[in-house]
Structures are given as C-alpha cells and as structure tokens.
C-alpha cells in the first residue's frame, strides 16, 4: 500500500467565519487536533468539507493554508474532483505544488455516464496533470454523484495507471462493493467511507476508513485500528462494536450539520455551526435530540479524546 495511505482518516469539516468564508486558522487547528487525536490522516476539501460549495479560488486558499500551517503532507489528502476537468486539473496541480501528492478525486458528477465516460474523464485529468508524484484516490459516492464507480472501472484505471491510481474511498455504504474492490485489486488502498466497516476492510486487506464522523470519533476509530495492528482480534471486535454503535447513531442526523453542532458544543465556538447553503444548521429540536442520543450512548468528545 502506498506510503501512509492507511488507517483512520477524517474527511475534515471546514469551519467558517460569519460571512461564510472558510475560517482558515480554525481549520488548520482542527486538522492538527484530528492528527493529534487519533487520525492517521485528514482528507481536506471532501464532501464533509463542503468543498463543492466553494469556488476554485476559495479552494486554492484552503490548500495554501494547509501548506502554510506546515501540516505533515504525507498525512493529508486534498479533494480536487470537480464537474469541469479544467477545475480538477487546476486543483490537482495546486495540491502537488504544495507537496501534497494524495488527491481524493470525485468523478465529474453532473452528467450521468457509464464506465467508458468515467474512464475518459479520469484519463484526461491524469494526462493533463502529467506528474509522476500524483497519487489518486478515487472517490465513489453514488448518493451524491448518481453514479457508481464499478469494480471493473477501478481495475481498468489501476491497470492503466498502476503508480498513480492507488486507492479508493468507497462511500457507497455497501460492504459487498468494498470487499469486491479489496479482493479485485490486491495492494490497492481501499478505504471504507464509514468506520462501520473499518475492521472488515482491514481484515479484507483494505487500507482503513476515510469518514465524515471521524471528525468526532477519531479516538474510537483509532482503538479499532491499533487493536487490529497489534493482532488483538477480540479487542478489535469490541472497539469496532463501540465505533459502529456511535456511527449508526450519528448517521441518523444530517452529516455535516450534526458534526458542526458537536464541534460547536465541544469548543464553545458558536461559529462552528455555520454552513453554506444548501446545507442548513440543525434546528434546536434536532440539536437537542442529538445531545440526548450522545448521552444515551455515553459518547462525548471530552470522553473520547
């Protein structure tokens, strides 16, 4: 598996100022807190980071802030996949320019096409970027894109670019799909899109997970990964059961709003609740229900950290 592309990764939230610009200082502090609190890496500018609600210029400012903060770039991946290939190329080059080789790349997600069209889309971007350092993690999120990245397409892309197309974040929620990729492409960095399948993915030879909820569950997830690495299967199973229970509770709520609500509660910084439309903050009743559910499960950031 490629370098550090393994373990527990958070699809990091993007905190915002009152004017809904990215709050870059709070953002990189959040990245550091995640890296210090159980995350092997952070995926910046993914779905959870509301990347698609930011312009290319704004996303480049986020990339530059990551560089300026001196974050360990082998523990960072940058989301760069846009609908328009010129945008994807520009952002991928920007990630490489700061020394971050790992990019999490959505397919162009407006037009609905099959394997041939998606292959052509990835192919043209990789050809245009033309940089041997590039490591592409394919981003499969059918609920958002309306398309599936098939195992056959993953095999085809990896065969065409074995040194470049090195992994996948599978946010399908479908374990059979994740297992199929683990089995079809040995050595591929297959990340489950949810910590619910962290241990099954590791046991199937995959890399780990890249998860939205890991913004708040990183410590729980790391207990799973550490027990697995230590060869303690019973302890890994116990930790996975705990992580799964918390994840299943959290995913009853709108993903980004609920995670920002938890961060606002934890830090006392109300601005954490800012979201860009079309996403909206939890209302008071939803926030109260979330707090109750957390108490019921005995889950808090203070306890987890």
Q: Report the interface residues with a copy of itself, using CB under 8 A.
A: 47, 50, 52-58, 83-87, 90, 107-113, 116-118, 120-121, 123-124, 143-144, 146, 276-280
- Of the pair 35, 153, the CB lying nearest a copy of itself is at 153
Report, in Å, the least distance between residue 148 CB and a copy of itself: 13
CA torsion through residues 57, 12, 27, 287, sign: positive
Residue 266's alpha-carbon distances to 29, 145, 220, in angstroms, are: 14, 32, 17
> Which helix (H) or strand (E) segment is 158 a member of?
helix 151-160
Phi, psi of 71 (to 5 degrees): -65, 150
C-alpha closest to that of 123 among 90, 158, 147: 158
What is the rounded radius of gyration, in angstroms, for the C-alpha atoms of the chain? 18
| Residue 78, strand partner residues | 44, 103
Report, in Å, the least distance between residue 111 CB and a copy of itself: 5
The residues that are catalytic are: 47, 110, 139, 169
Report the distance separating Cα 30 and Cα 69, nearest Å. Answer: 11
Report, in Å, the least distance between residue 59 CB and a copy of itself: 9
- Of the pair 97, 120, the CB lying nearest a copy of itself is at 120
- Of the pair 37, 142, the CB lying nearest a copy of itself is at 142
Report the distance separating Cα 295 and Cα 305, nearest Å. Answer: 16
Report the distance separating Cα 242 and Cα 236, nearest Å. Answer: 10
Report the distance separating Cα 216 and Cα 11, nearest Å. Answer: 11
- Of the pair 125, 239, the CB lying nearest a copy of itself is at 125
Report, in Å, the least distance between residue 84 CB and a copy of itself: 5
SS3 72: coil
- Of the pair 87, 155, the CB lying nearest a copy of itself is at 87
Q: What does the longest C-alpha to C-alpha distance in the chain come to?
A: 51
Does the bond joining 278 to the residue before it have cis omega, within 30 degrees of 0? yes
């Amino acid at each position: 598996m490629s370098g550090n592309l393994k373990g527990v990764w958070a699809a990091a939230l993007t905190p915002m100022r009152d004017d809904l610009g990215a709050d870059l200082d709070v953002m990189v502090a959040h990245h550091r807190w995640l890296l210090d609190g159980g995350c092997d890496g952070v995926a910046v500018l993914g779905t959870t980071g509301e990347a698609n609600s930011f312009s290319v210029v704004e996303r480049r400012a986020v990339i530059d802030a990551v560089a300026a903060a001196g974050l360990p770039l082998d523990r960072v991946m940058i989301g760069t996949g846009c609908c328009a290939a010129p945008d994807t190329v520009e952002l991928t080059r920007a990630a490489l320019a700061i020394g971050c080789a790992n990019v999490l790349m959505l397919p162009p997600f407006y037009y609905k096409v099959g394997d041939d069209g998606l292959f052509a889309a990835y192919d043209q971007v990789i050809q245009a970027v033309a940089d041997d350092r590039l490591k592409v993690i394919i981003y499969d999120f059918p609920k958002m894109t309306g398309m599936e990245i098939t195992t056959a397409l993953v095999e085809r892309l990896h065969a065409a670019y074995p040194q470049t197309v090195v992994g996948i974040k599978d946010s399908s929620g479908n374990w059979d799909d994740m297992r199929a990729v683990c089995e079809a492409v040995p050595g591929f960095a297959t990340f489950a899109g949810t910590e619910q399948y962290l241990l099954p993915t590791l046991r199937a030879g995959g890399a780990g997970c890249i998860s939205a909820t890991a913004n708040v569950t990183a410590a729980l997830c790391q207990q799973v990964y550490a027990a697995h690495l230590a060869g303690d299967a019973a302890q890994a199973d116990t930790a996975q059961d705990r992580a799964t229970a918390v994840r299943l509770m959290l995913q009853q709520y709108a993903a980004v709003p609920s995670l920002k609500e938890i961060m606002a509660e934890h830090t006392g910084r109300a601005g954490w609740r800012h979201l860009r439309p079309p996403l909206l903050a939890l209302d008071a009743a939803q926030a109260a229900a979330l707090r109750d559910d957390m108490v019921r499960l005995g889950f808090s950031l203070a306890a987890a950290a």
